[in-house]
Amino acid sequence: MVGFWHRLGTKGKALYSATLSPPFSSPLNLPHIWVPTQTPHRPLSSGFHRATGQTQSAAEIMSGKPIAKDIKLRVAAEISRMKAAIGRLPGLAMVLVGYREDSHAYVHIKLKACNEVGIETSIVQLPQDCTQDRLIDVVSSFNSNPSVHGIIVQLPLPQHLDEETIINFVSPEKDVDGFHPLNMGNLALRGREPLFIPCAPKACIELLLRYRVEIIGKNAVVIGRSKIAGLSTSLLLQRHHATVSTLHSFTNNPEQIIRRADIVVSDVGIPNIVRCDWLMPGAVVVDMGTNSVKDPNSPRGFRTTGDVCYEEAIKVVSAITPVPGGVGPVVISMLLSNTLDSAKRAYGFT
């Protein structure tokens, strides 16, 4: 795939304001276009701008940590209010199959975040050779448990299990990952609202909104089409009236498409595949990749990197998310928010 890419010669333009936006977009009320709770400031002329000829000396680093902290504080406050009013707490159930280290690490992060904001958690760990019927029984038991408002089946599952079948068994009303066909279908249909938006794409859009990135009318490219991130990110960007191209392994001349992109979102899981030559100067980059690369200088023997070569891209783009510390923290906070919304819906709490 690397052979497809060539050196870039076009000029880009600024799309964002360096001022971090304070509001948190409500995950329950998804209008046709997702609008922050306050009117965004006019974007600054922060990169090369075709109209002014100004050039940018340094890219804005779109850190997700302050955004995640703000959302978690708001979720925790709302949970406290709900407990004081009706004596109830949100409940999240997680199902973990097998012994993948990364899956165990992700579940640990989610459990820790839930404990910090007051969400009650339960976890079922099943062996690698767990049967599909056993896994469906566990999911069904959580579906019928009124104290459970969100259900996560940690992906990926072992190869002998059918992920789509398992996802379909999760109640749409408790599908806080947003992967159920009902939720994905409603996300794709104009004028319809899913019960839940997948956490990773929702985090991507929240980052763009908080950093005042212009989306309406812009050319956006999403590299990858997974249900976890790429597919639903494309759908959300369309909700904001971006012109969206989704690239995949069968895309012809992908470098030509990326070179025209004002916004680039990558979700391919290949470390450093996106080089600076592929990016339009002044573009905004959201790197959703999380890849482990061997590093003998690291105490752990590896380091985490994204799909985008950060050291190169930062010299070309107007704004970029780091890995780690970019999209990841916001993804976890969106899971907390989805779980809270599910509990509020179940108890009729407003």
> Based on the number of CB atoms within 10 Å of its own CB, is 104 exposed (0-12), middle (13-18) or buried (19 or more)?
middle
Q: Which residue, chain included where needed, has tokens 């767990």?
A: 130
Task: Give the integer Cα–Cα distance in Å for 186 and 138.
Answer: 26
Of 13, 56, 72, 154, catalytic: 154
Of 13, 56, 177, 287, catalytic: 177
Give the neighbor-by-neighbor strand order of the sheet with 243-247: 60-61, 319-320, 284-287, 263-266, 219-223, 243-247
Catalytic site residue 54?
no
Q: Which residue, chain included where needed, has tokens 């994204």?
A: 306
User: In the chain, helix, strand, coil percent, each to 5?
Assistant: 35, 15, 50
Catalytic site residue 110?
yes
Catalytic site residue 344?
no
Task: Give the integer Cα–Cα distance in Å for 170 and 140.
Answer: 7
Q: Are 246 and 225 in contact (CB under 8 A)?
A: yes
Of 13, 72, 110, 202, catalytic: 110
Residues annotated as catalytic are: 110, 154, 177
